[in-house]
Amino acid sequence: MIYTITFNPSLDYVVTLSRLQVGAINRNQAEEIFPGGKGINVSWILQNLGVPTRILGFKAGFTGDEIQRLVEERGIPCSLLPVSNGFSRINVKIRAGEETALNGKGPEVTSADMDRLQAQLRELTSEDILVLSGSGPSGCAPSLYGDIARAMEQRHIPCVVDATGRLLAGALSAHPFLVKPNGEELEDLLGRKLSTEQDLIQGARELQQQGARNVLISLGGDGALLVDETGKVHRHLAPKGTMVNTVGAGDSMVAGFLAGYLRNKNCEEALHWGICAGSATAFTMHLAEKEAIEQLVKGN
């Protein structure tokens, strides 16, 4: 089972306009509501690909209940823990040529709430995988992901970390199975510009020196680069297609990579599945369906 944690899930209210007029009343041409959050996106794609998964994290208020209802309606097992203060976010995404987003704050998560999550995590076994992705709860310690990953390492449970800044940096020494920065996030983490592919490879190796086992660097329309734990470099370009939506593409890449890796533990195949899953999501309005991913995997 692959467990994902979404500390700050959301209802994503996506509206489409011909153009956005600031300071005026705008009437949308289309609207959709999706459950959002990076961990939820990973589980959504895993479920589409037939990989057993469960969503962990927190929810609050009527918005939290609706997030859980929507993911369970999709058939994804969901064990979001209710918290008392605040309500789960509503994120407004306006598509009007360019995309504009207004993201909510999210509820307050207490130390007692975190203890309840830790109790859930103690039920995982070495046959499971844990995905830590996105931001932590409001006011969380920079060591949060590292603390969780180290607890998992002690029990031989592989961790995937898809985060930025100090949350990612703090998890490296826990030897996560996979980290997935994009190019800009890797530059921010290392504090320098990475102008060439060789620079990116060197940056990935530096993360491995700090503890990461496999480093997957997403490069948008240029595909992705993987430096695996044996030191081998894998490079794939993205399939051709019309870019429609970038939200969730990186999460889809993580899910596709894991689904591909679980087939026969081959990193080259895992990277191919990851790029195809990420691209399939980028070519649609929401998260990709199984058929769209498989068509790209087969080269159709």
- Asked whether 123 and 153 are in contact (CB, 8 A), the reply is no
Let me know if residue 133 belongs to a domain.
yes
Q: Identify whether 151 is part of a domain.
A: yes
Q: Using CA atoms, how far apart are residues 250 and 130, in angstroms rounded to an integer?
A: 17
* pLDDT, tens only, 221-277: 888 999 999 999 999 888 888 887 788 899 999 999 999 999 989 999 999 999 999
DSSP for 222-278 reads G-EEEE-TTS-EEEEPPPP------TTHHHHHHHHHHHHHHHHS-HHHHHHHHHHHH
Residue 300 has pLDDT above 70, yes or no: no
Contact in structure between 233 and 196 (CB atoms under 8 Å): no
How far is residue 94 CA from its own chain's centroid? 21
Average pLDDT over residues 3-12: 94
Question: According to the model, what pLDDT value does residue 81 have?
Answer: 97
Q: In CATH, what number is assigned to the domain containing residue 255?
A: 3.40.1190.20
**Is 72 part of a structural domain of the chain?**
no
Number of domains in the chain: 1
Q: What share of the chain is helix, strand, coil (3-state, %, to 5)?
A: 40, 25, 35
Name the residues annotated as catalytic.
Answer: 251
Helices (H), ranges, 18-161: 38-48, 61-73, 111-121, 144-154
103-119 average pLDDT score: 92
Q: Is 283 inside a domain boundary?
A: yes
pLDDT of residue 201: 95
The answer to the question of residue 99 being in a domain is no
Confidence (pLDDT) at 290? 94
| More confident position, 221 or 170 | 170
Question: What is the mean predicted confidence (pLDDT) over 148-160?
Answer: 96
* Run of H or E residues at 140: none
Global pTM exceeds 0.85: yes
pLDDT 10s digits, 61-70: 999 999 999 9
What is the phi/psi pair of residue 197, to 5°?
-60, -35
Q: How far apart are CA 102 and CA 13, in angstroms?
A: 10
Residue 81 lies in a domain: no
Query: Which of 299, 169, 149, 165 has the alpha carbon at shortest distance from 237?
Result: 299
Locate tokens 């081959």: which residue? 266
In a domain, 98, yes or no: no
The answer, yes or no, to whether residue 30 has pLDDT greater than 90, is no
pLDDT at 285: 81
What are the C-alpha distances in Å from 156 to residues 36, 152, 160, 175, 208?
Answer: 29, 6, 13, 11, 18
Instruction: Please compute the mean of the pLDDT values over residues 89-108 and round it to a whole number.
Output: 86
pLDDT at 250: 92
**279: in domain:** yes
Q: What is the dihedral of CA 67, 72, 76, 81, to 10 degrees?
A: 50
Which carries the bigger pLDDT value, residue 67 or residue 17?
Answer: 67
CA 179 to chain centre: 11
User: What is the domain range of residue 286?
Assistant: 2-7+38-60+110-297
